[in-house]
Structures are given as structure tokens and as C-alpha cells.
Amino acid sequence: MRYYLRKLAFYAFAGWIAITLNFLLPRMVKGDPVQVVLAKAQRLAPLPASARHALELQFGQTHDSLLVQYWHYLGSIFTGNFGLSVTYYPSPVSHIVASALPWTVVLVGLSTIISYVVGQLLGSYVGWRRGAGLTGSSRSRRSCPPSRTSGSRSSSSTSSGSRCSGSP
């Protein structure tokens, strides 16, 4: 039980680090998602000045402190509100993820099945034909019987520094 609690604590910590980096990195990069959407929209038609403020509210950009923004970010992550996509504006990110999820599950499942089958076949082949080309230099690594190092040595039990021949 203790093992599983340690694993759970490690994964919770790693998840928190990933979420925190996902919050901080976009705020460190130059640029603004509102500017990107405004530039795309102004190609089609001129926008009023109030459009910028409306987009800032939609993307969750506030002038609150970083700690308050982080708290709101954590709340929206755990409620499943991932916001709007900058690339596919005005589509919600959750819809984009949901549309890509079936293909991702199929690809991961298929690659897992293929790697399992190939691993089983190769493992069976190498186990059946010991010394085949897949195991490297396994012929030179045959085990030697242990030598007697304690007590008196007789001339018949000592070798003159040679390796064992590999024959039984």
C-alpha cells in the first residue's frame, strides 16, 4: 500500500508541475492571443475598439495578479473549461480535443498491440534459438562454473589463468 501511495504522490507532483508549466510558459512568450485573433479578424472587416476588450474577456486575460490568475486557471482546468482556441477561434478547446481523441486512442491502441506482438515474436525467437543474431555476442558469454578460492589449492582444481571453454 505504501508503494502505491508513493507512486500516487509522485504522479500528482508531476501533474502539478506540468499544469504549472502550461500556465507559465505562454505568459513568458512574446505576443498576445488577442492580437493574433484581432489580426485575423481585421483582414475580413474592421473591428471596433471595444472588440479588443471583449476578446480579452473571452480569453480570460485579466489584470489580476499572477497568483489570482493561476487560481482561476486551476479552477477552470479541474472543471473542464479549457477556454477558446486561438488557432480555431471561436471553437472551444474541449471540442477540438474531443474530435481528436478517438484517433489518438486508435493509434495508441494499435501501436501497443503491434509492439506487444513483435516483442513476443522476437523474444520467442531469441529464446528458442539461443545464440542467434539478435542476442549479440551471447556465445562468448556462457557461464563458467565457480572456482574454489578458499582453502588449499590443488593442481587439479586451479587453472592457469585461462577462461572456461564453454563446454560442459
Distance CA 129, CA 88 (A): 55
Confidence of residue 158 (pLDDT cuts 50, 70, 90): very low
Q: Tell whether 79 and 104 lie within a shared domain.
A: no
Q: What percentage of the chain has pLDDT greater than the value 70?
A: 77
Distance CA 60, CA 28 (A): 16
What's the pLDDT at 150? Answer: 54
The reply to whether 150 falls in a domain is no
Q: Is the pLDDT assigned to residue 155 strictly greater than 50?
A: no
Q: Tell whether 22 and 70 lie within a shared domain.
A: yes
Alpha carbon separation from 135 to 4, 115, 124, 127, 149 (Å, rounded): 35, 18, 12, 9, 32
The reply to whether 48 falls in a domain is yes
The residue among 92 and 49 whose pLDDT is bigger is 92
- pLDDT tens-digit profile of 40-91? 777 777 777 777 777 777 777 777 888 998 998 999 888 888 888 887 888 8
What 3-state class would DSSP assign to 131?
A: coil
The reply to whether 153 falls in a domain is no
What 3-state class would DSSP assign to 151?
A: coil
Average pLDDT of every residue of the chain: 79
The residue among 142 and 117 whose pLDDT is bigger is 117
Confidence of residue 116 (pLDDT cuts 50, 70, 90): very high
The residue among 82 and 162 whose pLDDT is bigger is 82
How many domains does the chain divide into?
Answer: 2
Confidence of residue 147 (pLDDT cuts 50, 70, 90): low
Q: At how many degrees (to 10) do helices 33-44 and 50-58 cross? A: 130
The reply to whether 68 falls in a domain is yes
The reply to whether 155 falls in a domain is no
